[in-house]
Structure 1
Amino acid sequence: MSAGFLPYGRQSIDEDDIAAVAAVLRGDWLTQGPAVEAFENALAARTGAAHAVACANGTAALHLACLALGLGPGNAVVVPSITFLATANAARYVGAEVAFADVDPDTGLMRPEDAAAAVARAQAAGWCVRALAPVHFAGQTADMAGLADVAASRGLALIEDACHAVGTQTQGADGTWAEVGACRHGGLAAFSFHPVKTIAAGEGGAVTTDDPALAERLRRFRNHGMVREPDRFTDQDLGFEPDGTARPWVYEMPEPGFNYRLTDIHSALALSQLGKLDRFAARRSRLMDLYAHRLDPLAPLVRPLARVAGCRPAWHLCVALVDFVAAGRSRGAVMAALRARGIGTQVHYVPVHRQPYYRDRYGALDLPGVEAYYARALTLPLFPAMADGDVGRVVDALAETLGIA
Structure 2
Amino acid sequence: MIPYGRQDISQADIDAVVDVLKSDYLTQGPQVPLFEETVASYCGAKYGVAVNSATSALHVACLALGLGEGDWLWTSPNTFVASANCALYCGAQVDFVDINPHTYNMSVEALEHKLKQAKLSNTLPKILIPVHFAGQSCEMREIHALSLEYGFKIIEDAAHAIGGKYLGKSVGGCQYSDITVFSFHPVKIVTTGEGGIATTNQSVLAERMQLLRSHGVTREPHLMTKSLETEGAWYYQQVDLGFNYRMTEMQAALGVSQMQRVDEFVGTRKAFAKRYDELLHNLPLVLPFQHADSDSSFHLYPILIQTDLIFKTRAEVYKALREDGIGVNIHYIPVHTQPYYQKMGFAEGSFPLAEAYYQQVISIPVFHAMTLQDQNRIIELLERDLI
Q: Please show how residues 274-353 of structure 1 align to structure 2 within 5 Å.
A: 274-298=259-283, 301-353=284-336
Q: Which amino acid aligns with 2:112?
A: A
The reply on whether 1:110 has 2:95 as its aligned counterpart is no
Confirm or deny: 8 A CA contact 1:100 1:118 kept in the other structure.
no
CA distance, structure 1, for counterparts of residue 18 and residue 29 of structure 2? 15
Q: Post-superposition shift, 1:14?
A: 0.8
- The 3-state SS of whatever aligns with 1:315 is coil
Range moving further from structure 2, 133-142 or 244-253: 244-253
Confirm or deny: 8 A CA contact 2:156 2:177 kept in the other structure.
no
- The 3-state SS of whatever aligns with 2:235 is coil
Confirm or deny: 8 A CA contact 2:290 2:296 kept in the other structure.
no
The reply on whether 1:381 has 2:372 as its aligned counterpart is no
Q: Post-superposition shift, 1:64?
A: 1.2
Confirm or deny: 8 A CA contact 2:37 2:48 kept in the other structure.
yes
Confirm or deny: 8 A CA contact 1:6 1:344 kept in the other structure.
yes
* Structure 1 stretches lacking a partner, 5+ long: 172-176
CA distance, structure 1, for counterparts of residue 158 and residue 189 of structure 2? 11
Range moving further from structure 2, 22-31 or 392-401: 392-401
The reply on whether 1:38 has 2:29 as its aligned counterpart is no
**152, 175, 197: which is aligned to 1:156?**
152
Q: Which amino acid aligns with 1:373?
A: Y
Kindly provide the CA deviation profile for residues 42-95 of structure 1, in whole angstroms up to 9, marking residues without a partner as x: 111101100011000111111111011010111111101000000000111101
Kindly provide the CA deviation profile for residues 277-333 of structure 1, in whole angstroms up to 9, marking residues without a partner as x: 0110000000000110111111xx212111111222111001011112432312222
Range moving further from structure 2, 87-96 or 121-130: 121-130
Confirm or deny: 8 A CA contact 1:165 1:313 kept in the other structure.
yes
Change (3 A) 1:231 1:303: closer
The reply on whether 1:186 has 2:169 as its aligned counterpart is no
Q: Please show how residues 47-126 of structure 1 align to structure 2 within 5 Å.
A: 47-120=43-116, 122-123=118-119, 126=122
**247, 251, 260: which is aligned to 2:232?**
247
* Structure 2 stretches lacking a partner, 5+ long: none
Confirm or deny: 8 A CA contact 1:108 1:137 kept in the other structure.
yes
Q: Post-superposition shift, 1:149?
A: 1.0
CA distance, structure 2, for counterparts of residue 354 and residue 24 of structure 1? 44
CA distance, structure 2, for counterparts of residue 16 and residue 203 of structure 1? 19
> Deviation above 4 Å: which 4+ runs of structure 1?
120-126
Q: Which amino acid aligns with 2:365?
A: P
Name the counterpart of 1:174: none
Percent identity (aligned): 40
- The 3-state SS of whatever aligns with 1:378 is strand
Name the counterpart of 2:242: 257
Range moving further from structure 2, 318-327 or 203-212: 318-327
Range moving further from structure 2, 88-97 or 356-365: 356-365
Q: Post-superposition shift, 1:126?
A: 4.9
Q: Which amino acid aligns with 1:289?
A: K
Confirm or deny: 8 A CA contact 1:295 1:303 kept in the other structure.
no
Q: TM-score normalised to the size of structure 2? A: 0.96
Q: Post-superposition shift, 1:124?
A: 5.8
Q: TM-score normalised to the size of structure 1? A: 0.92
CA distance, structure 1, for counterparts of residue 246 and residue 115 of structure 2? 33
The reply on whether 1:138 has 2:153 as its aligned counterpart is no
